[in-house]
Structure 1
Amino acid sequence: MEPNLLPVFYGEKVSLQCVIQGEPTNGPWWYRWYRDGSLLQDTGKEVILIQRDYHSRYKCTASQRPGNELESEPMKIPVMGIPKPTIIIQSPQQPFYRGDSITLRCDLTQGEGWEYHWKRNAIPTATLTVDPQSPVFPGENVTLKCEIDSPEGWMYTWHRDISELVNKTVERNITITVNDAKSVEGQYWCQGERKDRPTASQGSNTVTIHAKALPKPKLAIEPQSPVFTGENVTLKCEIKNQPGWNYRWYKGNRSHLIPTLTSNTTTIKVVAKSDEGPYWCQGQRTDRDTLSQLSDEIHIRVKALPTPKLTIDAPSPVFPGENVTLKCEVKSSNGWKYKWFKKNNLDPVATSDTNTTFIRVVETDAGIYWCQGERRDRPISSKPSKEAHLHIMPLPEAKLTAEPHSPVSTGGTVTLKCVIESHSNWTYKWYKDTENNLVIEESNFTITRATDSDEGTYWCQGVRRERPTSTQLSNSVLVGKRGE
């Protein structure tokens, strides 16, 4: 690589050579150059680079025949800004007197190998400023300003990388319109030249301009539509990985700006039907009027809280022990779970992710019921349903009698009868001592030749195939033995 001394400074040209150690002389060699993996040129041992090429990686290949290539290691060129020297008065200390000898030293903090040239009446230095600061965006105008301490009598030359941009203009400012990133990106610097003689200022500082495409913000909504009157809705507008933006919000159409909103998040509290419609957002640079692209549209649909319909699916009449179906329907809307309540009871009697639940009723379940839906994804409830009545008819009574009445003599006979005054086609179950101890199934229960083991408490119950399929458990009868 030439120049042979590193580092390389902005403004220099760099020559790269592809050298083969112990290169044989039998036949020609073909060379190829690659920049960042892409073919740059395919002939010649040498390639000349200019400043805008510095930040890439280079390698070369050499071959005498296809398929037999030698490949170099990749090289990235270290580049430094041109250092600015500092003059130091070594001796004597101030104040100075006529006839004093003054020793000056010129200091450079970067690198070695410099020659020093001294001039009296120092040449002024140009200072370059840019507005707006990077990044800049398509459609913007970028103003570069070149300032010299003694501003009168100068003409200005403007440079981008190592090329002249504008030559010898009396204007200290130039304006560049950003069409795309490639048209403006680069390192800029300026220099002044006296109008009346060929004396130039020192070159200015370098300013790097970066350009980016206009970003498109992402608009999100929480919760997702549909939303219901009374809920809070949050909209969030985000331009990722780019600080320095305020935000504009639009509703209804893209020209209807909501003037009071500037942050990236806005919450519509207690949403109403009037809040329904399409929404967009857009970024605006905090330091200037540049706007991003518009976000995609989000449409807020606002619905009134629904009133579910409660139905009770049960045979008529309902008897204890039978199953009853409770159904709570929210029409034209999905995403609900359900709760069923009995009047004057704050705790639900049943909950379900579906709109149907089943209960096996007892007499105390009779009463007034209502239901309510609740969103699965957030704590918002529907209106309560209308009330519905659940009527439960008691099971028929069974009456147990004994003939003769207790007590009975040892070896005697006692007949138990189970009387059911409603319905027909009953068969009878008889229980002794406990309500679960079934001893016989017959119409009448006769105990003959009574013994000690027959003593106890008896009940009966009627059962049949039709509804109601059973009676209540009868009254109890005590069968005891008369003492001898």
Structure 2
Amino acid sequence: MICSLCLSVCCHSSTATVCVDVKMELTLLCVLSLFLLNTNVYGNDAVSYRVSVTKQPSWTQTFSGESITLTCEIDGVSYRVSVTKQPSWTQTFSGERITLTCEIHGGGDAQWEYEWRTSSSNQPDDKTGKVLMIRADESHSGDYYCMGRRNHESTQWSDVITLTVTSEPPKPRLTAGPSTISVGGSVTLSCSVDGSDGWKYEWFRWTSNRWTPAADGDNREIRVTRGGKYTCVGRRGEPAVYTYNSDDVTIEITYSNSASVSLQLDWTQVIRGQITVRCEIQGGGDTQWVYDWETTSGQTITHRTDTNYWTVSAFSSGGYRCRGTNRQDPYSSTRWSEAAALTVSAAVLTLDPSRSRYFTGESVTFTCDMKDGKHTEWETRLIKDGVEIASYSGYRIKALSTGDSGRYQCFRVHRKTNHIKTSGTIDLTVSGESSLT
């Protein structure tokens, strides 16, 4: 067939330009063929593109014998490429298994060849697969991105995904509220890893000098009714990666029994510098108790005894309180008693006459803090070399002998207020000769 008008038709895509000379009568067929060509090359995927035809020269009229060029342009033939990470946790820790997948959206079912690039110091053995399997450690930290190729086309590079691997496992946070509950009550314990997800939690209670499981399942929260020391640990992934143990919390069970504390100011102890603190538990029944003590004499001190009394110093002011703890369950106790206060202050021992040396036959009077008065509720003891010699102030030795030489001290006690006064010591020396001879 003779062609009255010859056309040069070019088809441009993202990867190729095709130019053919066709007859005018076949122009429409040629354009349709280009559409079919595009379909055959790129498949039936959901890919967005635009087709346009331009004419050169762009005269509005064309006359027989003129040569013109029609250009068929196909724009936007591209694929969106992304890297997905599974599991999609925001933090990655050493030992976890991570899968990176190169996804070509709209790429159809045809076989793609893949290329990976990474800034990590640990380069993958195979950079051509769709999937990268990583057993993570710090050397895998870096940026990862990929692209795909098939036939005579290739995708753009994907956006970068950054993998940061932390070598140290996290430490979960264990919270409880409140930490003290009544008998028959319960409390909720909560375990969490801040800034990290995907964890399941295991719970433990300190029993017989070891940690034993405290709950079934993998709950973030548990409800407990028993006293004790609790901790939690998180795990995730397969194979599992574990967190450190959380700091432990102690849950205490409080009995309704009341405790009371009293101070026993016994003279045989006081003159030795001691007193007895006693703890009584109301309605204690047959429970076998051990006794916890707390004092603020100078500094807070805690102490435990098998008996309900505790011997302490008579020379230090401070408060004392107690509670009973079940001998079979060290986390079950009464409430603390109200504190009983011991007050210690100085007494003044004076000798009349006051001299540095005495002689046999002379008299001397011992006075202990008479500013309190003779007939108050204060009790007095005069001590010589640690032995009581008088139970009142104003004690007088009418005729001294050498046997009266020694170290003297006085004590005063006010029982209603638990107040002890202690004087300093005075050394008395009695010579056998009178100062007048």
Structure in which a larger fraction of residues adopt strand: 2
Return the TM-score normalized by structure 2.
0.38
Structure in which a larger fraction of residues adopt helix: 2
Which structure carries more relative contact order (alpha carbon 8 Å, separation 6+)?
Answer: 2
